[in-house]
Chain A
Amino acid sequence: MEINILYLLTILVTGVIFVLGGFFVSRLVGPNNPNPVKREPYECGEIPFGEGWTRFNVGYYIFALLFLIFEVEVVFFFPWAVVLREIGVLGLIEGLIFLFVLFFGLIFAWRKGYLVWH
């Protein structure tokens, strides 16, 4: 197990080196002569106006919240799913109750109109 964490770290570091190496080679080989026009943000040929950091739809926030709730509950299911064969009928029923609460939450959000994209 411990040695596997070392393996994972090696792979992560390799991934980072792969990217940084790519950037480095690109810097060596590619040209580098920026000018003010080139560094303008791209807006399909129009002269850009205003900031790019504009306000955006609040709907994204609601979906992110919903995601957070459900994802955390889904993570709780993993240990249950792994041992389901050993914990028998009682474990199954408890799991199903939890699943029903989750399902009820989804229906609640649906009825409240949170699932409508504005």
Chain B
Amino acid sequence: MESYIYRTDKLILDLTEWLTEATGSAFAAEVVKMSIAAAVLSAFVGLLAMILIYIERKVAGHMQQRVGPMRVGPHGILQTVADSIKLVAKEGLTPKNADAFIFNLAPLLVFASSFACLSFIPFSPGMTIVSFNVGLLFILGIASVGVLGILAGGWASNNKWSVLGAMRSGAQIISYELSATLALLAIVPFFGTLDFQEIVLSQQKGWWIWRAPGVGLLGFLIYTIASTAECNRTPFDIAEGESELTGGFHTEYSAMKFAMFFLAEFINIFIVSAISATVFFGGWMPFHIEGLDTLNRVFDLLPPIVWFFGKVACLVFVVMWFRWTFPRLRVDQLMHFEWKYLMPLSLINLALAAIAVSAGLYFFN
């Protein structure tokens, strides 16, 4: 139980100690750690996007009684690699009336904001690249920068489809962001911190989805719906509804610029699932039932990082499942659903949560 895979916090402490000794100063050790973090995160992003795209296509295939990609590599596992090579080798076009600078800036904004969000995710004990005491607020703030990139990209393209798609996309993302934020906010009083590692540690006795009486489950449902809409995923993908708007805000994008939007979309799915897993499902905390020590030991056998990625994988699968279950909403239905149903519901949820916390109503206490 004491090996590094279980005690990643110890691993990082030992690494820092070793680096300080090797380099001779604490600051140099931090610089080395920063470089490691940056390199690992870059590799992780590339790998994550490839795996998610492959899984997405396989899930889509099997839900429609097809087999999905099969040709490139065994069961098509190299399909995304081939696609990436193809994307790199394509010509990047800028339409003639476009505002070239903003046109190129947009994918950068979208990608960089998603990338920065990843540094707050608690993968394992002690394994957070940036541990702020306001992590949850910060991640919500940085994630909202992405919508600027979408609006800028659509507007700068000077294409009717792009402008329409960007406007719809922007309206949708900002509207659903309210509900997503409120749903998370309703759980915050229960643990009283915004630090991701402490949020995970507060779930030692049970995950908030059931420990917070009722509001946990309701909050999770609201967050799942709202975050799916924030990622522009079906059934909320009116922004790029192919049958109406061609490609939405990225109609004019090609090659690497398109790839950056695509990458950011899949990173965003991972991020919202990771936030959901951390706040509602205990993050890397194994499933524990108080009193049943033998059972808890069995669950502890799985390393925390496996728990984390397992939970995230389940939530990502749910988001992919949505896509093949629900038809797309119309734009007016979409706005009505948010402002007339989801928004009042999340405000009521917050009020109930506040009352429950003040009354000391916790389950499994």
- Where the two chains meet, the residues of A that have a C-beta atom closer than 8 Å to any C-beta of B are 1, 3-4, 6-8, 10-12, 14-16, 18-20, 22-23, 25-27, 29-34, 36, 38-44, 48, 51-54, 56-57, 59-60, 63-64, 66-67, 70-71, 74-75, 77-78, 81-86, 88-89, 92, 95-96, 99, 102-103, 106, 109-110, 115, 117
Contact = CB atoms under 8 A, between A and B. Distances in A.
22 contacts: A1-B133, A8-B130, A10-B34, A11-B38, A12-B116, A18-B111, A20-B108, A23-B256, A26-B92, A31-B91, A39-B94, A41-B96, A42-B251, A52-B157, A74-B181, A78-B188, A81-B192, A82-B194, A84-B357, A85-B357, A85-B358, A92-B354
Contacts of B89: 29-30
A116 to B, nearest CB: 8
Contact of B252 (A7, A41, A81, A110): A41
Contacts of B189: 81-82, 84-85
Interface in B173-217: 174-175, 177-178, 181-182, 185, 188-189, 192-194
A103 B350 CA distance: 11
Given A11-B41, A52-B158, A30 B88 contact: yes
B1 interface: no
A84 B92 contact: no
Given A59-B171, A85-B189, 17 more contacts: A10-B35, A14-B38, A15-B113, A22-B256, A26-B88, A30-B256, A32-B91, A34-B94, A39-B95, A41-B98, A70-B343, A74-B178, A75-B137, A77-B185, A78-B137, A103-B344, A117-B331
B339 A82 contact: no
Contacts of A117: 331-332, 335-336
B178 A54 contact: no
A85 B192 contact: yes
A88 B256 contact: no
Contacts of B62: none
B280 interface: no
A36 B187 CA distance: 55
Given A64-B174, A85-B192, A96-B354, A25 B256 contact: yes
A38 B256 CA distance: 17
Contacts of B133: 1
B296 interface: no
A76 B23 CA distance: 44
B351 interface: yes
Contacts of A19: 107-108, 111-112, 260
A15 B115 contact: yes
A34 B130 contact: no
Contacts of B87: 26
Q: 7 smallest A-B Cβ distances: which pairs?
A: A15-B115, A26-B256, A117-B332, A15-B112, A52-B158, A81-B188, A84-B189
- Chain B residues touching A, majority SS: helix
Interface residues of B, number: 83
Given A67-B175, A74-B185, A30 B255 contact: yes
Contacts, number: 218
Contact of B192 (A56, A63, A82, A96): A82
Contacts of A6: 30, 34
Listed residue (A11, A25, A63, A92) with the most chain B CB atoms within 10 angstroms of its CB: A11
A110 B335 CA distance: 12
Listed residue (A44, A53, A75, A115) with the most chain B CB atoms within 10 angstroms of its CB: A53
B340 A78 contact: no
A7 B351 contact: no
A106 B160 contact: no
Interface string B83-119: 0000111111111111000001001100111011011
B18 interface: no
B96 A7 contact: no
A4 to B, nearest CB: 5
B174 A67 contact: yes
Contacts of B164: 56
B95 A40 contact: yes
Nearest to A12: B116
Contacts of A31: 91
Given A56-B163, A78-B188, A106-B343, A3 B30 contact: yes
